[in-house]
C-alpha cells in the first residue's frame, strides 16, 4: 500500500466547528457538570475541539424533556403525514449541507470525504425519506373475535427511546435509528460515540431548523460507561437501540433487564465469510473480497474478514488478492486518490496491530501488510493472512480493521461448515455462477444477510441485523419501524344488552 498525503479538497483543513454542546429540549447547552472531552482527528492524532460531556444528570434532564414531548407534545399526536413533511424537510437540509457534514465525518472518523459526500450523506437523506413515506401508513387490524365481541389493534409509538450508536458510520447509524423512531411518533435521546460527536450535533441543529418540536430529538455526547449506561439503565426510557461491540451489547441488555425491562435491539459484531467457488471470475471475486474487507478501513461490522476459496482457484485467487492489496491507496481521506483513511482512534489502531502480532505468533502466514503507515495518525496497511486455522484468534474475533484471513476448502459442505464456524451471524457472501450452489449455501448459512455475487449491497428496504451473537432486532426496512411501535388490542361488545 502507498501512503498518499494530498489535501486536495479545501475542507481538508479542519472546518470551523459550530456545535460542541449537548442538545436538549431544542437548545444547545453546557453539561451540568461543566465537563468537556476531546474529539481527535485520526489523521494526525491532534485534538479537533472539546465537546460538552453528558453524564447521568444530563441524561435525566434530556429524558424529562423527551418524556414531556411524548406525553404532552404534538409529535406523537400529529397525523403521520405531518411528521412526514417535517422529516422530508430534514432530509432536504441534510443534502444542502452535505459537504460540511461529510467533512465533519472525515475529520472525526477518518472516513473518505468523497464517500461521505456522495454515499453516506445522500444515503441518510434517503433513509429519512423512506420512513417519512411510512409515517402515514401505520395501522392495526380489525378483529372479528366472537359473536358478541369485536376488537381492533392500535399500533402505538413505544415512547421515549434511547439510541446508543458507534463511531464507524456516525451519520448512517444516527439515521438508521432516528428515522423509523421519528416516523413512529417516538421521542428520543441519542448518544453518539465519544470518538465521533460532530455530525450528530450538526444533525440536532438541522432537526430544529426542519421543525422537529423541542424535546423530540435530544443529542447527548458522552462516554459509554457514564452517559451510555445512564440510558440503558434509565427507568423512564421505554426502549433502547444499540449498535456496537458484542461485549457492550451484553452490558446494555443486562442494564435494561435490571432496570425497567425495556426492550433492547442489538446490532453487534461479525466475522463474516465470503465464499468464492471454483467457477467464479477470479479477478472480480478478488476485487469483491478486497473491498469487502477494506471498505471503511475494515471498520464495518459486515466486513468480509474470512474469505473461503475453493481449492481449484485458490493459488491464482491468492496471487490476485495480494497484488490488489499492494496497489490499494492509503492516506488522507480528503485526497481523491485515496481508498482507505486512518483507523478511527488510538485504541482501535493498537487493537488491530495487536491482533496482527497474535496472528503471526500463532503461525498464520502474513502475505502482505501488517504494519502501520507513516509517522503520524492511525494508518494501517491492508493486511492478508493465509494458512489460518479456524480456531486461531484472528479467525474467531472481530478485528474491525483491514485484516483479512484466507481459507481453502474442497466441497460445498465443507464451505458451509467453515462459514458457520463462528459465534457471529451478521452477513455472508458467495460468488458462483451455479444457481444450485447459490440456493443451497444461502439457505444454510446462519446470518442476517446473504449476498450472492455481490457484497456490501444495502438498501433502506433491506432489513439489517444479526443471528447468533451478532444480536437481534433489525435496522432498516419496515422491520425497524416495528421496533418503535407496540400493539394494543381494544375490545368491545358488539351489543351489550345489560346496559
Ligand atoms: P467499540 O468498543 O468498538 O468502541 P462500543 O461497543 O464500545 O464500541 O461502543 C459503541 C457505543 O456504545 C458508543 O456510543 C459507546 O460510548 C457506547 N458504550 C460503551 N460502553 C457502554 C456501556 N457500558 N453502556 C452503554 N453504552 C456504552
Q: Tell me how far the alpha carbon of residue 244 lies from the centroid of ligand 1, in angstroms.
A: 6
Q: 325 with 339: CB under 8 angstroms?
A: no
The number of the ligand 1 atom at minimal distance from the alpha carbon of 249 is 6
Residue 121 reports pLDDT greater than 80 = yes
CA dihedral 246, 198, 457, 380 (to 10 degrees): -70
Residue with CA closest to ligand 1 atom 18: 224
Q: Whose CA is nearest to atom 20 of ligand 1?
A: 224
Contact residues for 54 (Cβ-Cβ < 8 A; gap 6+): 22, 31, 62, 191, 220, 221, 222, 226, 227
Is any atom of ligand 1 closer than 6 Å to the C-beta of 249? no
- pLDDT tens string 177-229: 999 999 999 999 999 999 999 999 999 999 999 999 999 999 999 999 999 99
Q: Where in the sequence numbering do the catalytic residues fall?
A: 267, 301
Burial annotation 99-111 (CB, 10 A radius, 16+ → b, else e)? bbbbbbbbbbbbb
Write out the DSSP string of 130-156. HHHHHTT-----EE---SSEEEEEEEE
What value does the mean pLDDT take over residues 266-287?
Answer: 98
Q: Is 191 in the pocket of ligand 1 (CB under 6 A)?
A: yes
Ligand 1 midpoint to CA 36 (Å): 18
Mean pLDDT throughout 476-489? 98
Ligand 1 proximity of 232 Cβ (cutoff 6 Å): yes
Q: Is the pLDDT of residue 6 over 60?
A: no
Residue-wise pLDDT for 243-256, tens only, equals 999 999 999 999 99
Ligand 1 center to residue 231 CA distance, Å? 12
Buried b (16+ CB within 10 A) or exposed e, 332-359: bbbbeebbbbbbbbeebbebbbebbeeb
d(CA 226, CA 223): 6
CA distances from 354 to 321, 350, 393 (A): 23, 6, 11
Q: How confident is the model at residue 382 (pLDDT cuts 50, 70, 90)?
A: very high
383-386/403-409 β-pairing? parallel
Ligand 1 closest atom vs CA 247? 6
Is 124 close to ligand 1, i.e. is its CB under 6 Å away?
no
Position 11 confidence tier, pLDDT thresholds 50, 70, 90: confident
Q: Which helix (H) or strand (E) holds 346?
A: helix 346-361
Q: Is the pTM of this model over 0.95?
A: yes
Among 301, 306, 312, 187, smallest CA distance to 246 is for: 301
Ligand 1: centre distance to CA 248 (Å): 6
Are 200 and 221 in contact by the 8 Å Cβ rule? The answer is yes
Q: Check residue 371 and give its pLDDT.
A: 98
User: What's the CA gap between 92 and 84, in Å, rounded?
Assistant: 12
Whose CA is closest to 441, among 458, 453, 457?
A: 453
User: At a CB cut-off of 8 Å and minimum separation 6, what does 97 contact?
Assistant: 202, 206
Alpha-carbon span 151 to 155, nearest angstrom: 13
Mean pLDDT for all residues in the chain: 97
Q: Is the pLDDT of residue 496 over 80?
A: no
ipTM of the complex: 0.98
Convert the pLDDT of each residue in 431-450 to its tens digit: 999 999 999 999 999 999 99
Amino acid at each position: 500500500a502507498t501512503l498518499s498525503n494530498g489535501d486536495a479538497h479545501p475542507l481538508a483543513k479542519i472546518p470551523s466547528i459550530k456545535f460542541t454542546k449537548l442538545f436538549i429540549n431544542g437548545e444547545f447547552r453546557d453539561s451540568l457538570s461543566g465537563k468537556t472531552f476531546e474529539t481527535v482527528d485520526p489523521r494526525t492524532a491532534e485534538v479537533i475541539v472539546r465537546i460538552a460531556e453528558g453524564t447521568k444528570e444530563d441524561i435525566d434532564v434530556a429524558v424529562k424533556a423527551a418524556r414531556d414531548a411524548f406525553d404532552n407534545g404534538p409529535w406523537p399526536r400529529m397525523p403521520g403525514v405531518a411528521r412526514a413533511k417535517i422529516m422530508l424537510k430534514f432530509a432536504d437540509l441534510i443534502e444542502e449541507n452535505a459537504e460540511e457534514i461529510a467533512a465533519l465525518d472525515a475529520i472525526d472518523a477518518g472516513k473518505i470525504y468523497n464517500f461521505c459526500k456522495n454515499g453516506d450523506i445522500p444515503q441518510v437523506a434517503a433513509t429519512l425519506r423512506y420512513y417519512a413515506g411510512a409515517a402515514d401508513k401505520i395501522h392495526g387490524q380489525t378483529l372479528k373475535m366472537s359473536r358478541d365481541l369485536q376488537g381492533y389493534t392500535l399500533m402505538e409509538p413505544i415512547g421515549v427511546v434511547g439510541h446508543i450508536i458507534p463511531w464507524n458510520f456516525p451519520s448512517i447509524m444516527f439515521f438508521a435509528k432516528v428515522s423509523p423512531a421519528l416516523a413512529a411518533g417516538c421521542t428520543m435521546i441519542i448518544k453518539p460515540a465519544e470518538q465521533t460527536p460532530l455530525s450528530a450535533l450538526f444533525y440536532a441543529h438541522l432537526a430544529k431548523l426542519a421543525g422537529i418540536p423541542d424535546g423530540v430529538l435530544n443529542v447527548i455526547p458522552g462516554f459509554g460507561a457514564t452517559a451510555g449506561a445512564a440510558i440503558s439503565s434509565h427507568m423512564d426510557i421505554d426502549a433502547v437501540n444499540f449498535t456496537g461491540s458484542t461485549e457492550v451489547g451484553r452490558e446494555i441488555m443486562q442494564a435494561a433487564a435490571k432496570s425497567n425491562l425495556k426492550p433492547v435491539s442489538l446490532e453487534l459484531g461479525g466475522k463474516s465469510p465470503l465464499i468464492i467457488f471454483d467457477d467464479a471470475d477470479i479477478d472480480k471475486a478478488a476485487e469483491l473480497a478486497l473491498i469487502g474487507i477494506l471498505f471503511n478501513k475494515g471498520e464495518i461490522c459486515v466486513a468480509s474478514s474470512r474469505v473461503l476459496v475453493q481449492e481449484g482457484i485458490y493459488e491464482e485467487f491468492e496471487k490476485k488478492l495480494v497484488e490488489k492489496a499492494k496497489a490499494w491507496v492509503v492516506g488522507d481521506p480528503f485526497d481523491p486518490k485515496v481508498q482507505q483513511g486512518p483507523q478511527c482512534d488510538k485504541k482501535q489502531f493498537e487493537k488491530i496491530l495487536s491482533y496482527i502480532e497474535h496472528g503471526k505468533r500463532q503461525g498464520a502466514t502474513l502475505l502482505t501488510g501488517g504494519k502501520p503507515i507513516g509517522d503520524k495518525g492511525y494508518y494501517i496497511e491492508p493486511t492478508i493472512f493465509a494458512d489460518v486455522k479456524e480456531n486461531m484468534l484472528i479467525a474467531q474475533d472481530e478485528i474491525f480493521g483491514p485484516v483479512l484471513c484466507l481459507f481453502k476448502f474442497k466441497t460445498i459442505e465443507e464451505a458451509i461448515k467453515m462459514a458457520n464456524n463462528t459465534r457471529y451471524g451478521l452477513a455472508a457472501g458467495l460468488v458462483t455462477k451455479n444457481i444450485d450452489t447459490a440456493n443451497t449455501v444461502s439457505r444454510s448459512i446462519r446470518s442476517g444477510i446473504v449476498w450472492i455475487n455481490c457484497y456490501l449491497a444495502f438498501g433502506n428496504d433491506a432489513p439489517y441485523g444479526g443471528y447468533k451473537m451478532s444480536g437481534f432486532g433489525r435496522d432498516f426496512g419496515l422491520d425497524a419501524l416495528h421496533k418503535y411501535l407496540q400493539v394494543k388490542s381494544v375490545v368491545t361488545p358488539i351489543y351489550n344488552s345489560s346496559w
